[in-house]
Amino acid sequence: MSLNIVTLVGRVGGDPDVKYFESGAVKCSLTLAVRRVSRNNDEPDWFNLELWGKPAETAANYVRKGSLIGISGPLKFDHWQDRSTGLNRTKPIIRVDRLDLLGSRKDNEAPVPSYGGDEF
């Protein structure tokens, strides 16, 4: 048995980067700051998020820098070759399957249901 699910709650580091494709697909990229419980470290851990479909549309419409969100989804790695150095590079990304808008209505400007999982 294997399992690849990451679940995090944190604040969005910047406004969503949304791309609409001719096929009708929607992709949204975000960064998420998550505070680690530690005596000596007050700096957050940063995570790169990738959302597609309904979760991407929800993020595009309701998530802004500083929004409190909860996410879950598998961890994947993007691989590429650096053009200037020729070195192989990797970047961890969480492919968000479930997005929950947390915080107050004022933070999110309107109540919105969560999307993801087996709801659709």
What CATH number did the domain enclosing 101 receive?
2.40.50.140
What are the beta bridge partners of residue 73?
Answer: 6
38 within a domain of the structure (yes/no): yes
Give Cα separations from 14 to 17, 48, 114 (angstroms).
Answer: 9, 11, 20
Answer whether 47's CB lies under 8 Å from 32's CB: yes
User: Which amino acid appears at position 11 of this protein?
Assistant: R
Examine residue 101 and state whether it is found in any structural domain, yes or no: yes
Range of the domain at 54: 6-116
Specify the pTM: 0.79
85: helix, strand or coil: coil
Res 94 pLDDT > 70: yes
Q: Examine residue 42 and state whether it is found in any structural domain, yes or no.
A: yes
Q: Given this model, what pLDDT does residue 118 score?
A: 46
Domain presence at residue 1: no
The answer to the question of residue 53 being in a domain is yes
Residue 110: predicted pLDDT: 47
Inform me whether the pLDDT recorded for 36 exceeds 90: no
Q: What is the pLDDT of residue 89?
A: 93
pLDDT at position 104 is: 66
**Residue 110 forms part of a structural domain:** yes
25 token code pair:
């697909």
pLDDT value, residue 111: 46
The tally of domains found in the chain comes to 1
Q: Which two tokens stand for residue 66?
A: 């500083």
